[in-house]
Amino acid sequence: MVKVGIVGGTGYTGVELLRLLAGHPEVEVTVITSRAEAGRPVSDIYPNLRGHFDIPFTEPDLGQLKSCDLVFFATPNGTAMKMVPGLLDGDCKVIDLAADFRIKDLAVWEKWYGMTHACPDLVAESVYGLPEVNRQAIKQARLVANPGCYPTAATLGFLPLVEAGKVNLNGLIADCKSGVSGAGRGSSVGMLMGEVGESFKAYGVPGHRHLPEIQQNLSIAAGQDVDVTFVAHLLPMIRGIHATLYATIDGEIDLQALYEQRYANEPFVDVLPLGSHPETRSVRGVNHCRIAMHRPQDGNTLVVLSVIDNLVKGAAGQAIQNMNIMLGMDETLGLQSVALLP
């Protein structure tokens, strides 16, 4: 059994890691830390874990964490970068589910996140944990930066088009919609059910932190700078991201073949028949990304629809997929259940 630790386990990403790891046949969670809740059983906060995890939250302790084979950071941005250097001293591997190691360009990171980075060298070393792009590098990595939720949905949706050089790279549009769990479990008036229930709005249109991450991913895929307009919206539901992606065609494409070939060997990307409309509920609780393509009215604007569960493929599930790869296990272990529908 592999020993795993979780730093910062009280948020939605933390409980989702625990939910999924409970069904992982090769993993034992030995530590879960929370300064605020130290001493309290995890099932006190998350009643779904009763009978599955009886360990309490503890104060983060570097020594104890180092005894793990792998440590997940499910902490706010800016926390992992302070602790990771200490951890990597030993044999422990690390996956950061926050944004500390996602952006390679430090100046860009520091501008969008409003902090000075604590360990720039590790940013250079870390691997961006999108297995569909970086599987080999993830296999070798000590430190993986788990992708953001919107960037996962948008990148997987655009990737075949951008890699194939078949679309205009200067006018990509990612109109993305997320359930409220993407905002985490922090108390805030703006995320009360009385405020966000039965309503819909865009947010962060002037600038959202996932924009530079999407741009980095697509620019690497294209081998040149890519210009994306990204608009995030808040859905009156709990889980799920739906990315509606627009691109202007540049040359002829067999859309369906392009996507099916690109993702032929991917266990967690499911290309639907041309003209389908994937529903977020079809991936509720599971690690799949479902994608469908359209070319409405045979025009020049392509529409790609990409859905994930923001807490699974957009966070904890992808982190476990990365863990499986890093530790040489079957990539799908612990991630084989069926989406909860209805």
- Where in 163-222 is the site for a second copy (CB under 8 A)? 171, 173, 175, 177, 180-181, 183, 185-189, 191-203, 205-207, 211
CB-count burial class (<10 Å; 0-12, 13-18, 19+) for 96? buried
Active site residue 149: yes
| Out of 222, 253, 283, 326, the residue judged to bind a second copy by CB under 8 A | 283
Residue of the chain from 4, 6, 7, 15 that contacts a second copy (CB under 8 A): 15
The one-letter amino acid at 244: T
Per CB under 8 A, does 265 bind a second copy?
A: no
Residue 289 to residue 280: CA distance in whole angstroms: 9
d(CA 336, CA 114): 38
State the greatest distance between any 2 C-alpha atoms of the chain, in Å, as a whole number.
61
**Strand-pair category, 241-248 with 172-178:** antiparallel
Using the minimum distance from each CB to a second copy, give the nearer residue, 134 or 324. Answer: 324
Q: What is the closest distance, in whole angstroms, from the C-beta atom of residue 10 to a second copy in the complex?
A: 10
Question: How far is 304 from 158, CA to CA, in rounded Å?
Answer: 8
Query: Please, which residue, 126 or 287, has the CB nearer to a second copy?
Result: 287
Give me the 23-52 binding string for a second copy, x by CB under 8 A, dash otherwise: x----------------------xxxxxxx
Catalytically annotated residue among 68, 119, 149, 176: 149
Answer yes or no whether residue 54 interacts with a second copy by CB under 8 A.
Answer: no
- Using the rule CB under 8 A, give the single segment among 57-65, 117-125, 303-311, 320-328 that binds a second copy: 303-311
Of residues 306-325, which lie at the interface with a second copy (CB under 8 A)? 307, 311
- Decide: helix, strand or coil at residue 272: coil
Q: If you count them, how many residues does the chain have?
A: 342
Q: How far is the CB of 212 from a second copy (least distance, A)?
A: 10
The sign of the torsion formed by the CA atoms of 61, 141, 127, 13 equals negative
DSSP state of 251: S
Secondary element (H or E) of residue 18: helix 12-21
Question: Is residue 270 within the footprint of a second copy (CB under 8 A)?
Answer: yes
Contact call for residue 246 and a second copy (CB under 8 A) = yes
Q: Which residues are catalytic?
A: 149
